[in-house]
Amino acid sequence: MSDSTPAVPGTAADEAAKAAASTNAGAAFGISLEEYLLPATRRIQLIGEDGTLLSPEEQGTEPGHEYPLPSDETLLEAYRHLVIGRRVNDQNYALVRQGRMAVYPSSHGQEAAEVAAAVCLGQDDWLFPTYRDTVAVIARGVDPLDVMVAYQGTWHQGYDPKEHRVSVQATPLTTQMLHAVGLAKAAGLRGEDVVCLAMVGDGGTSEGDFHEALNFAAVFKLPVIFFVQNNKYAISVPFAKQSAAPSLAHKAVGYGLAGERVDGNDLAALLAVLGRAVDLCRAGQGPFLVEADTYRMQAHTNTDDPTRYREDAEVQMWAERDPLRRMTAYLQGTGALTDEVSEQITQDAEDVAARLRDAMNAEVELDPLELFDHVYTVQTPQLAAQRAQLAEELSRTETQEA
Ligand SMILES: Cc1ncc(C[n+]2csc(CCOP(=O)(O)OP(=O)(O)O)c2C)c(N)n1
Ligand SMILES: [Mg+2]
C-alpha cells in the first residue's frame, strides 16, 4: 500500500499504520514509544520557588522531554493575566462574603495554570473550562462581567461560547471533556485546524467520562489536550483517597496518549509544556494529558470550611510556592518587569476589580418567570402549568405589597 492510501479502518493494514505512526511519535524525539507516552520521572519545573532559573539538572527534563524557557515577552504578557486573575479571584471572594454574589469557586493559588491554559491556545482553538476556571475564561478574552452573571445568579450564561471559542463553565464534572473530544472530531471531519483544551480537576479523573474521553481521543488521534489541575482536593476528599496511580499523568499511557507532569505554580514550565502539546496536536500527534501539580489555597466554595479537613501548616507550605510571587521575582530579575510596567499592570487589575464591584453592587431587576424561557423551543405542558402557577403567585404577592 502506498503512503498516500489510507488503510481501511479495522483491518490489519490499519493497525500497522497506527502502530507505525505511534512509533514515529517517540522516534521524532529520539526515544521509545513507552518513553514518549510516560511522563518524565520528575515533574517539569523551570523557575524555582524563589524566582530564579533552575539548572538543567533541576528542571526535571530528560531525553525527549526537554522544554525550552519561553521568552521574557511571552512571560510578561502571561504575567499580566496572572496579576488580573489573582485580583479577580480575591475580589470575587470578597463579593461573595458581602452577599453580592451567590457563589464563587476561587482558583487563588492556581492562577498560573489557569492563565497558561488560555494563552497557549491559538485564536481558532477551543477552551473547555470548569466552574473553577473563571480566570482562564477571562484570560481568553471574555469580559469578566459577562462571566460573573452566572455566579451572581442573575442569568444562566453571560457570554457566547461560539464567539469566544470558550465553552460554558461545566459544573457536572467531566462532561466538558467529552464535549472537547466531540468538537475536535467534528472539526477534523470539516477539515478545520482546531485544538481543544479541556480542563478538569483531580476529582474529575475518577469519573467515567474521563475514561471515555481519553480513550476516544487516543483511538482517533484527536487534537485534544486534557489539562488536569491536581489541586490536592475534591471538596474535602484528599488526593491520597482519589487515586493510587503514581501520578495522574501516568493515566495517559494506558490509553495510548502522552502524559506529562508539570509544576502547576510555575508559569514558565506550564507555558512550555502546554505550548509543545498544542504544537504537537496541530501536527497530528495528539492527544495529550498534562497534570499540573498545584494547590487550592481557599475554600472549595463559600459553602465549604476547609479547616475541617486540612492543616494550616499544609496551606502555609503551598503559600511559599505562590505562582504570582515567583513570576514577579523572576521577571524583576531579568529586568522585563520594571516599576513602570508593574504599576500599569496593577492599575489594569484594579480597574477590572472596580468594574466587578460596581456591577455586583448595582441592584438588578429580576423577572422570575424568565426561568422558564429558553428551556425548550416549544414549552412542555408541565412547564407551562408551572409557569402559570408562578405567574399567579407573583401577581398575588404584588397585590399584597400594593
Ligand atoms: C457529576 C458530578 N458529580 C458530583 C458533583 C459534585 N461536585 C462538585 S465539585 C466536586 C469536586 C471536584 O473536585 P475536583 O475535580 O478535584 O475539582 P476542584 O473543585 O478541586 O477544582 C464534586 C464532587 C458534580 N458537580 N458533578
Ligand atoms: Mg481538586
Q: Is the pLDDT of residue 2 over 70?
A: no
C-alpha cell belonging to residue 121: 491556545
Can 179 be counted among the known catalytic residues?
no
Q: What is the pLDDT of residue 364?
A: 86
φ, ψ of residue 285 to 5 degrees: the values are: -105, 20
Decide if 160 contacts 124 (C-beta within 8 A).
no
Catalytic member of 65, 108, 300, 326: 300
Q: What is the pLDDT of residue 236?
A: 97
The H-or-E segment that residue 211 falls in is helix 208-219
Tell me if residue 63 falls in helix, strand or coil: coil
pLDDT tens for 26-76 read: 988 999 999 999 999 999 999 999 999 999 999 999 999 999 999 999 999
Ligand 1 in reach of 235 Cβ (< 6 A): yes
Q: Is the pLDDT of residue 369 over 80?
A: yes
Decide if 193 contacts 256 (C-beta within 8 A).
no
Q: What is the mean pLDDT of the chain?
A: 93
Q: Is the pLDDT of residue 89 over 80?
A: yes
Can 250 be counted among the known catalytic residues?
no
pLDDT band at 15 (very low <50, low <70, confident <90, very high): low
Q: What is the pLDDT of residue 397?
A: 84
* CA distances in angstroms from 357 to 174, 309, 321, 352, listed in the order given: 31, 32, 29, 9
The stretch 374-383 carries a mean pLDDT of: 91
Give helix then strand counts, H and E, for the chain. 15, 7
**Residue with CA nearest ligand 1 atom 12:** 234
Instruction: Give the distance (Å) from ligand 2 centre to CA of residue 256.
Output: 24
pLDDT band at 157 (very low <50, low <70, confident <90, very high): confident
pLDDT band at 303 (very low <50, low <70, confident <90, very high): confident
Q: Report which of 397, 159, 195 is spatially closest to residue 284, judged by C-alpha positions.
A: 195
Q: What is the pLDDT of residue 155?
A: 85
CA 212 – CA 234 distance, rounded (Å)? 20
Q: What is the pLDDT of residue 12?
A: 65
C-alpha cell belonging to residue 51: 524566582
Percent of the chain at pLDDT above 70? Answer: 94
Q: What is the pLDDT of residue 309?
A: 97
Q: Is the pLDDT of residue 7 over 70?
A: no
225 beta partners = 197, 288
C-alpha cell belonging to residue 148: 460573573
Instruction: Give the distance (Å) from ligand 1 centre to CA of residue 173.
Output: 6
Q: What is the pLDDT of residue 357?
A: 97
pLDDT band at 375 (very low <50, low <70, confident <90, very high): confident
Instruction: Give the distance (Å) from ligand 1 centre to CA of residue 231.
Output: 12
Q: What is the pLDDT of residue 354?
A: 98
Q: Report which of 91, 99, 96, 179 is spatially closest to residue 135, judged by C-alpha positions.
A: 91
Tell me if residue 166 falls in helix, strand or coil: strand
Q: Is the pLDDT of residue 206 over 70?
A: yes
Q: Is the pLDDT of residue 272 over 50?
A: yes
**From the alpha carbon of 202, which atom of ligand 1 is closest?**
16
Q: Is the pLDDT of residue 344 over 50?
A: yes
Whether the bond between 287 and the residue before it is cis, its omega within 30 degrees of 0, is yes
pLDDT band at 19 (very low <50, low <70, confident <90, very high): low
Residues with Cβ within 8 Å of residue 343, at least 6 apart in sequence: none
Q: Is the pLDDT of residue 306 over 90?
A: yes
Ligand 1 in reach of 233 Cβ (< 6 A): yes
CA 333 – CA 315 distance, rounded (Å)? 27
Question: How does strand 237-238 pair with strand 258-263?
Answer: unpaired
Instruction: Give the distance (Å) from ligand 1 centre to CA of residue 103.
Output: 15
Ligand 1 in reach of 22 Cβ (< 6 A): no
Q: Is the pLDDT of residue 170 over 50?
A: yes
For residue 175, which amino acid is it? T
